[in-house]
Amino acid sequence: MTAGEGRGVAAPSSLLDALRPKPFRGDVIAAGVVVLTTLVWVVATRFDDAWSDGVHLAYGLAALAFVLLLAVQAPIEGDAPRAYQSVLYVASVALWIKVVVSLADVAGGHATAAGTATWGLTAIAVFALAFATRRNSAVCTLIGALAAGGAVLAAVQWIWDPDGFGTDRWVLLALMVVYGFAAIGQRDRRLRHGVALIDAAGLSVLAISGSFILFPLFIDFGSADHVTGVAWGWELLTVAAGFGLIAYSSVDRQPGPAYLGVLNLIFFAIITSLGVSAAGATLVGWPIALALAATALLVIGLRPTTPAPPPPDVDAPTPPPLPLR
């Protein structure tokens, strides 16, 4: 009986040890988890109507439990997680999203309803930010920040039900400011997390400018947004964010903000031309402003320089060699 009890106590520990990823096999395990996560989402899509909501929730929970166990048991070897660990964290978040959607379906809610989206995105944000704080995952900081911002947008729709994208743009502007200040607080202590928050701020501005481009696709082309173009304040925000993201990337040598900065500048070039016909095209406005700014910066950077004076000891004799010992 005692031996049986011993085996009963040792079994859970042995199972946990078997599911503890070995770092030298981490890449293979991460690859398997990516395939498993893809499988779960393919099955969820293909059998969406064929299987009941309870079945979708059951296999989603099983996959989440397995991957989450691997993720939390992966040994931390330094300040930043290894690449395979980041894959495990992101896969856990992806499976948690599947579980949240299934929970909404089981509860009888609709996954796209504003109220359901609010609590669902909040749950996703909390889950991702847990990995960001407990496992020092910067990519989960980005996911959690974006999910939290989505929850705020959904809550605004749920509570006030505004028309159009106008209110959403102001909410995104507020989120950009919050992300920016949060990034400043993380820059010296946890640079990777600060960069993730800067990326979230850049994506917020990208969503604002993107709404001006995409909005006419969902309304009549005779609408005011399509004919009159974009207010100059939103254009200024987009171009300033684009330049700022590229500057941040150059200073801290982080590539992500630079990519977002380029995308914001591309969107800026598009939105400044909305509502401008061929007959009404003019250089007045942004073309002249950009030309003046480029000229000033290039003149300052290429202006003639005075050679620096020689060092004071340039004519000093060469010191004698050290004696051999």
**Model-level pTM?**
0.84
Q: Chunked in runs of 10, what are the mean pLDDT values of the chain (325 residues)?
A: 47 74 93 97 96 96 97 90 96 97 82 83 97 95 97 94 90 97 89 95 96 69 51 94 95 92 95 75 89 94 82 74 71
CB 69 within 8 A of CB 76: no
Containing 196, the helix (H) or strand (E) segment is helix 191-214
Amino acid found at 301: G
Residue with tokens 């498993």: 36
Give CA–CA dist 12/22, Å, rounded. 18
The predicted-structure confidence for 99-158, as pLDDT tens digits, reads as follows 999 999 898 755 458 889 999 999 999 999 999 999 999 999 999 999 999 999 999 999
Give CA–CA dist 35/38, Å, rounded. 5
Nearest to 228 by CA among 177, 271, 287, 175: 271
For the chain, which residues make up each domain, given as ranges? 18-148, 162-274
Report the pLDDT value the prediction gives residue 314, as an integer from 0 to 100.
67
Give CA–CA dist 325/319, Å, rounded. 18
